[in-house]
Amino acid sequence: MRLELDQVALGDGPGAPLPAVSVVADRRAPGFVAVETEGAPTLASLVAGGRMAPDRGRVTLDGSEDADAVRASFALVDTPTVAEPFSTLTVAQVTREELALAGHRADRASVAEFLDVVGLTEHRRTRLASLPTELRVRLLCELALLRPGVEGLVLTSPERHGGDVAAWLGVVHDLARRGVVVLTVTGVAALATVRALPAPDLGEDEDDDAEAAPGEDEDTHFDARPDDDPAARPDDDTAAPTPGSSRS
């Protein structure tokens, strides 16, 4: 699967909301594109994810201009004002809500199981605002991959949360090794750091087992459960308000 933005832009001139950008993201080859100004990363992510049509340029998936296919295949991750969870929510609360929205069991045990799979058990009660950037990226990306049909991610401005670029970049590379197509919208300084770091070997062969998202392999599976099942009801630790959803 190959996502390509070819000179996509919104508006004209030096003050355009989104100046022309081009980037390619493929399996085993994550894409990175730098945009500046406050709103440009969100606009770039909306265009890349098939949620907004550009004024100029083309967005193609495997060579075809099909916004519906892009929308169905790609999730927006941590996109400001669009798919950004409330910073006051805990890791467990965000996980519970995303599991439910993806049609999986969202009870206490399922939340604990998921966090164990992604290595975030000790951060169950950590508020998102206090979570290190690389762990935030891992949590939100892994949750997005649980959604039906999602094979790719558009990750927005991870550098805005601080921390080491190499750390969150490592998460992006881990996803690419599993065959997940990742396009990261970032800033000029962060992109310069990405390009200065040694390029890892992300492999070439497709591996179905390696590509499975947490909860989708034979050992760990999140089943949908009816809302009226008492065992599926959330506890106080994981209850979260619906408006805090990071889904898009």
pLDDT of res. 247: 61
Residue range 160-171: mean pLDDT, rounded: 96
Beta bridge partners of 25: 3
Q: What single-letter DSSP state applies at residue 219?
A: S
Q: Which residues pair with 18 in a beta bridge?
A: 10
pLDDT beyond 70 at 227:
no
| Residues 67/78, Cβ–Cβ less than 8 Å | no
pLDDT(78) > 90: yes
The angle at the Cα of 53, spanning 52 to 55, to the nearest 5 degrees, equals 130
> Which residue is associated with the tokens 């993201």?
25
Mean pLDDT of 202-208: 60
For residue 237, the tally of other CB atoms under 10 A from its CB is: 14
- Give the highest mean pLDDT range of 10-14, 133-137, 228-232: 133-137
Q: Which stretches within 34-183 are classed as H helix?
A: 40-48, 67-73, 91-101, 108-117, 133-144, 165-177
> Counting Cβ atoms within 10 Å, is residue 83 exposed (0-12), middle (13-18) or buried (19+)?
buried
Calculate mean pLDDT across residues 45-65.
97
Burial of 112 (0-12, 13-18, 19+ CB in 10 A): middle
pLDDT for the residue numbered 245: 52
Burial class for 67, CB neighbours closer than 10 Å (0-12, 13-18, 19+): middle
- Residue-wise pLDDT for 187-201, tens only, equals 999 999 999 999 888
SS3 60: strand
What is the predicted pLDDT for the residue at 22?
A: 97
Tens digits of residue pLDDT in 14-47: 889 999 999 999 998 999 999 988 899 999 999 9
pTM value is 0.85
**In the predicted model, what is the mean pLDDT of residues 117-125?**
97
Q: At 123, is the secondary structure helix, strand, or coil?
A: helix
3-state secondary structure of 31: strand
pLDDT value, residue 15: 87
